[in-house]
Amino acid sequence: MSGKFRNGFTLIELLVLMAVLGVVAAIAVPSFSRVIESNQLTTTNNDVVGALNMARAEAVRSGAPRSLVPDTTFTNGYEIVEDDGTVISEFEGASGQFTIALTSGGNPRFGATGLLLGGGSEFNVCRASGEDGTRIRITAGGQIRSARITCP
């Protein structure tokens, strides 16, 4: 050697770096995918809860009953309507990998006092593959509760 400094990396150093990056990516990518899917589930759940809260608030504000009804299915979309069928607000349904299903009770219909008319209702928001999901319960008192579940 003539005493000159060499700049850069050797081929061995680059190969070791690529191997380390490959291992880190192999560990991080599946975890990151699960985080994204969990966030999508939370967003879909919050959209339904928000629509239910809006229907309840609209019933109290207007002093007249308001219902949350599906656009063929809740997965396709849903809307807040007056008793005569006039649409107040429309909402997109679930993203492609989630389903929204009314599993008990009828379409939620809130009275002028904010109470749920006709008893309680329950929705399941589930991943289409049937793994984790959420259950949204509306009590007769109009309270809306959400909890994580394992979907069937």
- Domain range list for the chain: 11-150
Sign (positive or negative) of CA dihedral 107, 90, 110, 142: positive
Record the tokens describing residue 45, joined without a space: 């759940």
Superfamily of domain 11-150: minor pseudopilin epsh domain (3.55.40.10)
Residue 80 has pLDDT above 80, yes or no: yes
d(CA 95, CA 43): 10
pLDDT value at position 114? Answer: 93
pTM here is: 0.80
Residue 78 has pLDDT above 80, yes or no: yes
C-alpha radius of gyration, the chain, whole number: 25
pLDDT value at position 87? Answer: 95
100 touches 75 (CB < 8 A): yes
Residues 6+ positions from 150 with CB-CB distance below 8 Å: 131, 132, 133
Sign (positive or negative) of CA dihedral 42, 150, 33, 27: positive
